[in-house]
Structure 1
Amino acid sequence: MMSIQVQPLPSINIPNGGLNMQVLRRQPQKEKVLVVMGATGTGKSRLSIDIATRFPAEIINSDKIQVYEGLDIATNKITEEEQCGIPHHLLGIIQDPASDFTAPAFCNMASLSTRSIVGRGQLPIIVGGSNSYIEALVDDENHEFRSRYECCFLWVDVSLPELHSFVSNRVNRMVAAGMVEEVRNMFDPDADHSRGIRRAIGVPELDRYFKMEPSLDKESRSRLLQEVIDEIKDNTFKLACRQLGKIHRLRNVKGWKLHRLNATEVFRKSGREADEAWEREVAGPSSKIVRRFLYSRGAPDQVYRNARAAAAAMGAAVAAASH
């Protein structure tokens, strides 16, 4: 019997000594998951809604404080009106304010939600500021999430000076909306601020004010309240800086491919101009990224096409050698 040795062809990828037929088996396509990241106040929730109104999607909250029921103002929880009818998961579902919602608990619940959303043919959008929880989910010890899902990461970024100003103004709006009375309604002088929803910025600071309030005159109370509000602003900005540091670590140390969307120009404008800048700088580019992510062929398809072409070339070479 004639022995035929097929050499690697320059235009296709065939291993030396012949083609490994295993590559002809089409690899299963991974399901798609979108992750929206960014420091507090940068517009993550807004972007997730924009995307979910343009693509069939549902949203999974990854903020470890917004997962609790209550303190909607203090935790800056997205309102029902702002949700625009998009299903939200893990948002305000923990009723016990003192329970400890851990990273493993989040990973378990987020994984279940992701499977459920994918099963309905929808795109899961994971969005929130708890980057350590997102990291625990995506880079789990057994690599189960990465083996099951292909992830696309969007990072909404804003320059720190602009973000500092925005955070300060947002806290003022939260106070005007009733944050002080909201926190007062759950005030407990013996509460543990290291667990549960009472870890939320604004609760420990205001609790200190509530404890001292009865012993102060009107002027002193007003002065102390302003000091507490300023402290809330400072602590919120410090949180934003820590979140930004974690994002840089995920990109620069762990090698996550993050699509950075610079929203700074949006924060420098107001009204219609701000909306136009948002569409131009953030929402529009994000939609293009997501469209390519969802509808372009992935690496497994390319491997299959390459293998099929290689098999055809091998068949041609065998046919030519046999004549």
Structure 2
Amino acid sequence: MKKPVIAIIGPTAVGKTRLSVEVAKAFNGEIISGDSMQVYEGLDIGTAKITEEEKQGIPHYMIDTKRPYDSFSVADYQVLVQQYIDEISSHQRLPIIAGGSGLYIQAALYDYNFSNQKRDDEVTKRLEEDLNNNGGLSLHNRLKEIDPNQAAKIHPNNHRRVIRALEIYQTTGLTMTAYQEQQKRESPYNPIFIGLEMDRKLLYQRINARVDDMLKHGLLDEVEMLYKQGLENCQSMRGIGYKEFIPYFKGEQSLIQATETLKKNSRRFAKRQYTWFKNKLDVHWYSITPETIDETFRKILDDLAGMLRRI
């Protein structure tokens, strides 16, 4: 039988962390982070990393497994998460993935094959020479012309991913988007996707308030510590919550400007998360408000009990 896996998804600040703990308590589960940034040590406040108190004794995985200067790909995430799913299931416990990194969660649960397209050293060498001669923005603009969907997902400074996307196109004739669309549609697991959604205006208010709260609890000090370690160009510092403050530390923006940029980027990210999950996955959606959250969570637990019985 295929292993059951619960995936709790939705936009930032909607309540996924709290629900995941409630589900784990109700169904003898253990939790795997579905946030691509929470793997980094020291990136705690800006990633809204769960605290020990919030865990309520539930084991959590894929948190604090990388140093801030390490690279971390969706393929890396896939391998590790599938190992944890097997390990958790072998202990007769229920694997629960909770987070908002849509491609990472989908790749892990639908077993995307990232290795069957081997690298072409000659093509890679030419692209790296182009990078050295013309800069990363030139390569990213080329990708934007070929595959705008993929270019929108990759930061111009993430040269490794830009080169990989261009390499696949040059060696196969397929864009990375088309390559991913060819992946298997059937999961090797029995995934149940539980999605949390909220009125957009209310969600944006929560996001803005969350940013203010993060700043009160030391987000600026956290980013400054990483910046002073020379990590500005590392993958970890390109995440939302960190990159927005670099212009402030360089004296190019005021703190107010940097904070407003973070709020704007967080709201836009939430919108992209909605779009991804609505278009890519078969999700059981639940709308929540602060007043109805307890009632809605009880309904989700009741519904999950029925879904799991039918597997």
CA positional deviation for 1:289: 1.9
- Supply the distance in 1 between the matched residues of 2:60 and 2:15 (Cα, whole angstroms): 17
Cα deviations by residue, 1:142-182 (Å, 9 ceiling, x for unpaired):
68895542111100011211111110000000001111111
Of the candidates 277, 280, 284, which is equivalent to residue 295 of structure 2? 280
CA contact (8 A) 1:158 1:262 kept: yes
Cα deviations by residue, 1:210-230 (Å, 9 ceiling, x for unpaired):
1118xxxxxxx8xx1111111
Normalised by the length of structure 2, the TM-score is: 0.73
CA positional deviation for 1:202: 2.5
Normalised by the length of structure 1, the TM-score is: 0.71
- Show the 5 A alignment for 1:266-305: 266=290, 274=291, 277-281=292-296, 283-296=297-310, 298=311
In the alignment, what sits opposite 2:122?
A: none
In the alignment, what sits opposite 1:202?
A: 241
Of the candidates 126, 130, 134, which is equivalent to residue 105 of structure 2? 134
Of the candidates 96, 99, 104, which is equivalent to residue 70 of structure 2? 99
In the alignment, what sits opposite 2:283?
A: 258
Q: Give the direction of change, closer, same or farther, for the CA distance of 1:47–1:115 in structure 2 (3 Å limit).
A: same
CA positional deviation for 1:41: 0.7
User: Highest Rg: 1 or 2?
Assistant: 1
Of the candidates 202, 225, 233, which is equivalent to residue 263 of structure 2? 233
- Is 1:154 aligned to residue 194 of structure 2? yes
- Supply the distance in 2 between the matched residues of 1:111 and 1:76 (Cα, whole angstroms): 24
Which secondary structure state, in structure 1, belongs to the residue aligned with residue 202 of structure 2?
Answer: helix
- Is 1:168 aligned to residue 221 of structure 2? no
Of the candidates 33, 58, 72, which is equivalent to residue 61 of structure 1? 33
In the alignment, what sits opposite 1:20?
A: none
Gaps in structure 2 of 5+ consecutive residues: 114-182
In the alignment, what sits opposite 2:49?
A: 77
CA contact (8 A) 2:111 2:188 kept: no
- Show the 5 A alignment for 1:26-45: 29-45=1-17
For the aligned residues, what is the CA RMSD? Answer: 2.0
CA positional deviation for 1:257: 2.5
Cα deviations by residue, 1:45-95 (Å, 9 ceiling, x for unpaired):
111011111110000111110111112111111111101110001111112
Which secondary structure state, in structure 2, belongs to the residue aligned with residue 228 of structure 1?
Answer: helix
Percent identical pairs in the alignment equals 31
CA contact (8 A) 2:109 2:189 kept: no
4+ residue segments displaced more than 3 Å: 141-148, 188-193
Q: Which amino acid aligns with 2:266?
A: T
CA contact (8 A) 1:38 1:155 kept: yes
Q: Which amino acid aligns with 1:126?
A: I
Q: Which amino acid aligns with 1:40?
A: T
CA positional deviation for 1:139: 2.2
- Supply the distance in 1 between the matched residues of 2:110 and 2:92 (Cα, whole angstroms): 24
- Supply the distance in 1 between the matched residues of 2:185 and 2:97 (Cα, whole angstroms): 13
CA positional deviation for 1:112: 0.1
Q: Which amino acid aligns with 1:294?
A: L
- Supply the distance in 1 between the matched residues of 2:71 and 2:23 (Cα, whole angstroms): 31
Q: Which amino acid aligns with 1:154?
A: I
CA contact (8 A) 2:10 2:274 kept: yes
Give the number of equivalent residue pairs: 242
Q: Give the direction of change, closer, same or farther, for the CA distance of 1:145–1:247 in structure 2 (3 Å limit).
A: closer
Cα deviations by residue, 1:126-148 (Å, 9 ceiling, x for unpaired):
11110011111222346889554
CA positional deviation for 1:121: 0.3
CA positional deviation for 1:188: 4.1
